[in-house]
Chain A
Amino acid sequence: MATAAITTEREHYLNKEYGIRSWLLTTDHKRIALLYLISITFFFFIGGFFALLIRLELLTPAGDLVQADTYNKLFTMHGMVMIFFFLIPSIPAVLGNFLVPMMIGAKDLAFPRINLLSWYLYIIAGIMMLHCMVTGGVDTGWTFYTPFSTAFTNTKVIEAGLSVFVAGFSSILTGLNFVVTIHRMRAPGMTWSRLPLFIWAHYATSIIQLLGTPVLAVTLVLVVCERVLGLGIFDPNRGGDPLLFQHLFWFYSHPAVYIMILPSMGVVAEIVPCFSRKRIFGYQAVALSSIAIAVFGFLVWAHHMFVAGISLYSAMIFSILSYLVAVPSAIKVFNWTATMYKGSVTFSTPMLYAFGFIGLFTMGGLTGLFLACLGIDVHVTDTYFVVAHFHYIMVGGAVMGYLGGMHFWWPKISGRLYPEWLGKFAALIVFLGFNLTFFPQFILGYLGMPRRYWQYPAEFQVLNVMSTAGSTILAVGYVLPMVYFLWSMRYGKIADENPWGAAGLEWKTASPPPTFNFEETPEVTWEAYNYDQIPAPAEVLIER
């Protein structure tokens, strides 16, 4: 019998308590982040499964894999799951939950129990959505457009609507927690101008979650009221106005795009200075541009309605305002690239994702300008051009940022390093797969292929085959990190407290961190991103 080695393992948040109860009743923000990580990964793969079925159907021009009705349900469920159950909670609920208190030097979020409640609400909403899916699904598109959703379809609109309603409250509570935490729980010396840009991005995101989500909740309740009680709110036959639904829905749902993308921008703003070994260029401009995006994001919603019958004057106003969002977005992109200028850039995995983000977000953003232009929008509304545009933002941007962030902070979360070469390989696969999937869709849309149809004319097939081929490559790129993250939890090299030589309070505590994050409350006496004072770790230097 081998003699057991006597080890005194350091206590941290993962090994402090064991058992299912210790997880389901935890109020530790780091454990709740992991609960969210598991749940959103589950929903990501469900949403991804629907996406693959959609792409498989579109491999051939004929509607041969599924019928039109099923296809309608597939793209609806894909959208609902990916938006409400993956993208919106993704970075805030996982990385935000894990990092916000640590980055500002706090022991936990301001309301730990509300944090746990938000996860339970998410799970309840998720179960409702799963139930809705297996008992017939819903076919309105993720947008619930009236009067179709209230007067015509006989699918599960009410259950899906209520599920999103509950998920919305989960999102509101996360936002509320972040706002209060960032205002009230910063460590001594952690002034607003010393906050990491990840925090600024989350602050801006929380503003949207707090102020926008209630409008979506009210709108969905009105849909349910009209459907169940026959109230005439949106149905013109009963004295309602269908465009009122679109105004209310997009008042939340356009800023919701910024709930998805702002946290990713926060991640990129952490990764770029670290792997360029330079202070971020234009700290203040990047910080304030997050707030500007959050505010401007609320002024542009009717660009989703240019061909829906809104007044021309209103369309012109919203068109001009939509162009405005490009300004703070461009400020960010220029500042990130300026940070790299004359920096010591290392092409580590998180940095590859950051590069991917910058490129794909820029393409998504610039094609957004096409859509803000009234003349072009009329031509490409409801075509694959729009599909490609928002996937460049929401997948190319938000998911790239999420994966970059997961790789960057994985050593902190798990205390282990993932295999670097496999990380780089996966990042490359994701980038190639993504572009092969979605770039052809720009062309398809411009040529006039409408979205949301299960059949198409034969001349569109080549581009559709490219897109479907790309989606399978993309799927491999998404499965890989999950596999090697799981592998690394047992076999990965042990990470020290700061494997990247990164600035930020979260790197000054052990990996994985103790339950209350710091042995003693830190006092901040330095500016954010003081890379001139932090030596790069040996491994990063060798790779360069």
Chain B
Amino acid sequence: MSEHILSSKLYYGIWIALMVLTVVTAGVATIDLGPFNTIVALLIATSKALLVILFFMHVKYTSEKLTKMVIISSIFWLLLLLFLSLTDYGTRYAGHG
């Protein structure tokens, strides 16, 4: 199994990007975007998670099927959690006005 070695420059770059995105999250929270409040916050959070998964966890460079399988099933399971919870949240007040 060959290890893919990434330059420390890239690591620092990703770290700075994560910090910037954190500041952006905090900044955006002070602006009222109406219905886009949650959407923007989630978009930023997802991009941060992607950066961590792809670079810090080396998923972008892996050829391991097992690693890919674990990542894909994790995302699928997260979607299960969200989707099935939404069957409740989406309809909880239906019929109550």
- Is B24 interfacial (CB 8 A cutoff)? no
> Chain A: interface secondary structure?
helix
A211 touches B66 (CB 8 A): no
A314 touches B87 (CB 8 A): yes
Assuming the contacts A311-B94, A314-B87, A314-B91, asked whether A183 and B74 have C-beta atoms less than 8 A apart, the reply is no
Per-position 1/0 for A306-345, Cβ under 8 A of B:
0001111110011000000000000000000000000000
Which B residues touch A298, using CB under 8 A?
77, 80
A314 touches B70 (CB 8 A): no
Which A residues touch B92, using CB under 8 A?
309-311, 314
Complex CA distance for A517 and B94, rounded to whole angstroms: 61
Which A residues touch B85, using CB under 8 A?
244, 247
Which A residues touch B94, using CB under 8 A?
311, 313
- Determine how close the nearest CB of chain B comes to the CB of A319; give it in whole angstroms: 12
B88 touches A247 (CB 8 A): yes
- Identity of the chain A residue whose Cβ is nearest the Cβ of B76 in the assembled complex: A211
- Is A180 interfacial (CB 8 A cutoff)? yes
Per-position 1/0 for A291-309, Cβ under 8 A of B:
0000000110110000001
- Is A238 interfacial (CB 8 A cutoff)? no
Which B residues touch A248, using CB under 8 A?
81
In chain A between 405 and 455, which residues have their CB closer than 8 angstroms to a CB of chain B? none
B91 touches A251 (CB 8 A): no
Assuming the contacts A251-B81, A313-B94, asked whether A211 and B73 have C-beta atoms less than 8 A apart, the reply is yes
- Is A184 interfacial (CB 8 A cutoff)? yes
Assuming the contacts A183-B66, A184-B66, A211-B74, asked whether A299 and B80 have C-beta atoms less than 8 A apart, the reply is yes
- Identity of the chain B residue whose Cβ is nearest the Cβ of A301 in the assembled complex: B84
Which A residues touch B93, using CB under 8 A?
311
Complex CA distance for A195 and B97, rounded to whole angstroms: 56
Give how many A-B residue pairs fall within 8 Å (CB-CB). Answer: 49
Assuming the contacts A180-B66, A251-B81, A298-B80, asked whether A314 and B88 have C-beta atoms less than 8 A apart, the reply is yes
Assuming the contacts A183-B66, A210-B70, A313-B94, asked whether A215 and B81 have C-beta atoms less than 8 A apart, the reply is yes
Count of A interface residues, CB-CB < 8 Å? 26
Between A212, A310, A311, A317, the greatest number of chain B beta carbons within 10 A of the residue's beta carbon is seen for A311
Listed from nearest, the 9 A-B pairs whose CB atoms lie closest are A314-B88, A311-B91, A311-B92, A314-B87, A313-B91, A310-B88, A211-B77, A247-B85, A311-B88
Which B residues touch A272, using CB under 8 A?
none
In chain B between 54 and 97, which residues have their CB closer than 8 angstroms to a CB of chain A? 66, 70, 73-74, 77, 80-81, 84-85, 87-88, 90-94
Complex CA distance for A312 and B91, rounded to whole angstroms: 8
> Chain B: interface secondary structure?
helix
Complex CA distance for A180 and B69, rounded to whole angstroms: 12
Which B residues touch A210, using CB under 8 A?
70
Complex CA distance for A10 and B33, rounded to whole angstroms: 75
Which B residues touch A207, using CB under 8 A?
73
- Is A51 interfacial (CB 8 A cutoff)? no
- Is A358 interfacial (CB 8 A cutoff)? no
Which A residues touch B66, using CB under 8 A?
179-180, 183-184
Complex CA distance for A310 and B89, rounded to whole angstroms: 8
- Identity of the chain B residue whose Cβ is nearest the Cβ of A321 in the assembled complex: B84
Complex CA distance for A174 and B91, rounded to whole angstroms: 38
Complex CA distance for A442 and B48, rounded to whole angstroms: 50
Which A residues touch B70, using CB under 8 A?
179, 210
Which A residues touch B90, using CB under 8 A?
311
- Is A259 interfacial (CB 8 A cutoff)? no
- Is A103 interfacial (CB 8 A cutoff)? no
Which of A179, A184, A317 is in CB contact (< 8 Å) with B87? A317
Complex CA distance for A218 and B58, rounded to whole angstroms: 23
Which A residues touch B81, using CB under 8 A?
215, 247-248, 251
Which B residues touch A317, using CB under 8 A?
84, 87
Complex CA distance for A317 and B92, rounded to whole angstroms: 13
Per-position 1/0 for A499-537, Cβ under 8 A of B:
000000000000000000000000000000000000000
